[in-house]
Amino acid sequence: MKPSLVVVGALVAVGLSACASDPDESTASGDLSVAATDSSCDVSATKLEAGPSTFKVSNKGSKVTEFYVYAEGDRIMGEVENIGPGLTRNLVVDLPKGTYEGACKPGMIGDGIRQTLTVTGQAAKRLSDSQELQAAADSYARYVKSQSDTLIVKTTEFVDAVKAGDVDKAKQLFPIARTYWERIEPVAEKFGDLDPITDGREPDAKAEGVDFTGWHRIEKQLWVEDNTEGMDKYADQLLGNVKKIVQLGQDTPLTALELAQGSKGLLDEVATGKITGEEDEFSHTDLWDFKANVEGSQAAIASLRPVLEKQDPALVRKLDEQFAALDRELNQHQDKDTGAWTFYDELTKDQVKALSNAVAALSEPISQVAAAVAASA
């Protein structure tokens, strides 16, 4: 895998006039080349547009070299070191408007051979300004809305069963209600104070010296005690908090970059909580959550798809391929008639490893999504 190509590709696509023939006459952004020798340092353009630029530094000399971009007072804006003779290394620097110096350092010593770089134009556009990105965020907001509506319905059913003392029904509804929660988890996680009291684990509550509340408090009572005693207040509180989060989520929708980070965050959730069976330690219904996290991640990528297709079609293909592979691995564990998933404690070690491999394989391309989204701004 060559993750860097994603970034390079993305930036090239944005570039206006890379490698102009007369460096002093042009204004460039995106891709620049730097030809370094033992006695020279030629940057393909010395006037740049504000925003991220990629310097492709080729060492055509005989000494090891390095390349720096300095702001006033030799403040380092970016650097790439250890470029051996004959090697090319790249450097991405995000430069606001101003005057800088590019410096090659043959032999990696001294002040270097310097060239003034003038950066003009506006600082990089805010990511939310792009219409495409706004469209992606809007699309995901619609997804969140649809999931939120059902989340409230299913949580209400669950809470009603708990309050009615119907243990079997509550147990049955627990993983189903959570499905809608787990699909839109990045939304909940934005609200740092609400997430822990809704979805926190017992050891964390203990460590903080606070009351253990939320989904997992009720889960413990249902599966460990097999009753619903004393759960009324937790049930009411859970429903209240879920409604609050849904409302807040709709008031402040995720930006496209948050969305890209959220798609990765959902898989990180899987890799740390679900693949270890830590999340639903009493009920072992982790695979319901697992599937829901993956679906949420997939929905985020789907919203970003038009942006990604433009920026990096190869990344989109890779994502499709790995989502499909993860689905194949995961879907083996679902009962096709009832839709129920295998309980975590019934999975063999090999099955868990296979799931973990599939999550890791998908997580690598997903970790490239944010850079592609940022590059499209």
Residue whose entry in the numeric block shows the structure tokens 């998908």: 362
- Under the binding rule (CB under 8 A), the answer on residue 364 touching another protein is yes
Indicate the residue among 46 and 54 with the shorter CB distance to another protein: 54
Among residues 71, 92, 152, 340, the one that binds another protein under rule CB under 8 A: 92
Stretch that binds another protein, among 22-30, 58-66, 144-152, 273-281 (CB under 8 A): 58-66
Binding mask 253-282 for another protein (x = CB under 8 A): ----x-------------------------
Determine how many CB atoms are found less than 10 A away from the CB of residue 201.
18
Indicate the residue among 81 and 168 with the shorter CB distance to another protein: 81
Terminal-residue alpha carbon distance, the chain? 25
Indicate the residue among 92 and 152 with the shorter CB distance to another protein: 92
- Under the binding rule (CB under 8 A), the answer on residue 370 touching another protein is yes
Indicate the residue among 142 and 353 with the shorter CB distance to another protein: 353
Distance between CA atoms of residues 214 and 202, nearest Å: 10
Among residues 23, 78, 98, 306, the one that binds another protein under rule CB under 8 A: 78
Among residues 108, 153, 164, 210, the one that binds another protein under rule CB under 8 A: 108
- Under the binding rule (CB under 8 A), the answer on residue 119 touching another protein is no
Number of residues that bind another protein (CB under 8 A): 56
Stretch that binds another protein, among 105-113, 156-164, 203-211, 303-311 (CB under 8 A): 105-113
Residue whose entry in the numeric block shows the structure tokens 């009615």: 164
- Under the binding rule (CB under 8 A), the answer on residue 90 touching another protein is yes
- Under the binding rule (CB under 8 A), the answer on residue 35 touching another protein is no
- Under the binding rule (CB under 8 A), the answer on residue 102 touching another protein is no
Stretch that binds another protein, among 18-26, 88-96, 171-179, 281-289 (CB under 8 A): 88-96
Cα 194 from chain centroid? 21
Binding mask 205-244 for another protein (x = CB under 8 A): ----------------------------------------
Distance between CA atoms of residues 293 and 300, nearest Å: 11
Stretch that binds another protein, among 80-88, 248-256, 279-287, 339-347 (CB under 8 A): 80-88
Least separation in angstroms between CB 277 and another protein: 18
- Under the binding rule (CB under 8 A), the answer on residue 129 touching another protein is no
Of residues 284-323, which lie at the interface with another protein (CB under 8 A)?
A: 322
Indicate the residue among 11 and 151 with the shorter CB distance to another protein: 11
- Under the binding rule (CB under 8 A), the answer on residue 110 touching another protein is yes
Q: What is the 3-state secondary structure (H, E, C) of the chain?
A: CCHHHHHHHHHHHHCCCCCCCCCCCCCEEEEEEEEECCCCEEECCCEEEEEEEEEEEEECCCCCEEEEEEEHHHEEEEEEEEECCCCEEEEEEEECCEEEEEEECHHHCCCCEEEEEEEECCCCCCHHHCHHHHHHHHHHHHHHHHHHHHHHHHHHHHHHHHHCCCHHHHHHHHHHHHHHHHHCHHHHHCCCCHHHHHHCCHHHHHHHCCCCCCHHHHHHHHHHHCCCCCCHHHHHHHHHHHHHHHHHHHHCCCCHHHHHHHHHHHHHHHHHHHCCCCCCCCCCCHHHHHHHHHHHHHHHHHHHHHHHHHHCHHHHHHHHHHHHHHHHHHHCCECCCCCCECCHHHCCHHHHHHHHHHHHHHHHHHCCHHHHHHHCC
Q: Which residues bind another protein (CB under 8 A)?
A: 1-8, 11, 52, 62-64, 74, 76, 78-82, 84-92, 94, 105, 107-111, 257, 322, 353-354, 356-358, 360-365, 367-368, 370-371, 373-375
